[in-house]
Amino acid sequence: MEEEVLLQEAQLVNHQVRQKALCLSKQSLSTTLYAYTSALCDLGAVTHFMHEFYDQNGWPEVDAFQKETSPLYWEIVDAYQNLSNYAKDARIFDSYHPRWQDPAYQQIVKLLKQVEITSRTGDYQITRDMTLVKKAVLCHTIGLSSEILERQESNPSFQSDDESNWNLLLEMWNLYQNNHRGIDVALDSNSKAQYTEEITPLLSYIDKNYSYRNDYERNRYQEKILTR
């Protein structure tokens, strides 16, 4: 990706973070949830920009940081600092929400934090092949479980009937598990797909809160959730 395009994307993320921080400051402490998970998602995007930049320009030595003059570099640094500050504030706001301790929400946070940490340290294991499969698994897992949590705030008995996304998620999950050694790098033959520990509980959570039409459909879907 060209540096000019990366700069524009980093500037956009930075602008969005400032807008989110402004909105957060106007919220009641007990009315917001998912601000923290949103911040972690944005952190993952910024680390992506960092890796793109350093892959193209070389990773500088520690004592060379202050010598860096690229506008993209400083935009990334500024965005990362803004995001870090926003994430701290968002965590405080989210912690006041009645559902902060909900196991499913905490599992979403756990997954996002693991993705963010591994991205920042260069351990997000993926090759250029089948990139979209892994992204689809992460996005749909977080998206469906977050939707259920959010809808149950106003309707505790809510159950999802989003068949297309639930089916797509499980198809991608099976594809990822069966082919992860071609997607994740530096894994031995006995390793599970990356983030299996964090994803599996969320799949079970979605399963328990999904409105199946009959037992046959339930059993068919549940077979896909089992990890290999």
Segments making up each domain of the chain, as ranges: 1-100, 101-228
Which band of pLDDT confidence, cut at 50, 70 and 90, is reported for residue 109? confident
Among candidate residues 170, 144, 43, 149, the one with its CA nearest the CA of residue 94: 149
Q: Over pLDDT 70: what percentage of the chain?
A: 59
Identify the weakest region by mean pLDDT among 2-6, 18-22, 186-190, 195-199: 186-190
pLDDT at 173 over 80: yes
- Across 56-60, 66-70, 88-92, 146-150, the highest mean pLDDT is recorded for 146-150
pLDDT of residue 185: 55
Give the pLDDT of residue 195: 85
Contact by Cβ (8 Å): 129, 101: no
Q: What is the mean pLDDT of residues 164-169?
A: 84
Name 141's Cβ contacts closer than 8 Å, sequence gap at least 6.
Answer: 111, 169, 173, 199, 202, 203, 206
Whether residue 162 is predicted with pLDDT greater than 70 in this model: the reply is yes
Query: pLDDT value at position 209?
Result: 92
* Residue 121 pLDDT greater than 60, yes or no: no
Angle subtended at Cα 122 by Cα 170 and Cα 140, rounded to the nearest 5 degrees: 20
| Residue 150 pLDDT level (bands cut at 50, 70, 90) | confident
Q: pLDDT confidence of 184, banded at 50, 70, 90?
A: low
Residue 45: how many other CB atoms lie within 10 Å: 18
pLDDT over 90 for what percent of the chain?
Answer: 6
pLDDT of res. 214? 84
CA torsion angle for 134, 140, 145, 146 (degrees, to 10)? 110
pLDDT category at 128 given cuts 50, 70, 90 is: very low
Residue at token pair 């890796």: 51
Tell me which of 159 and 37 has the higher pLDDT. 159
2-6, 88-92, 186-190, range with greatest mean pLDDT: 88-92
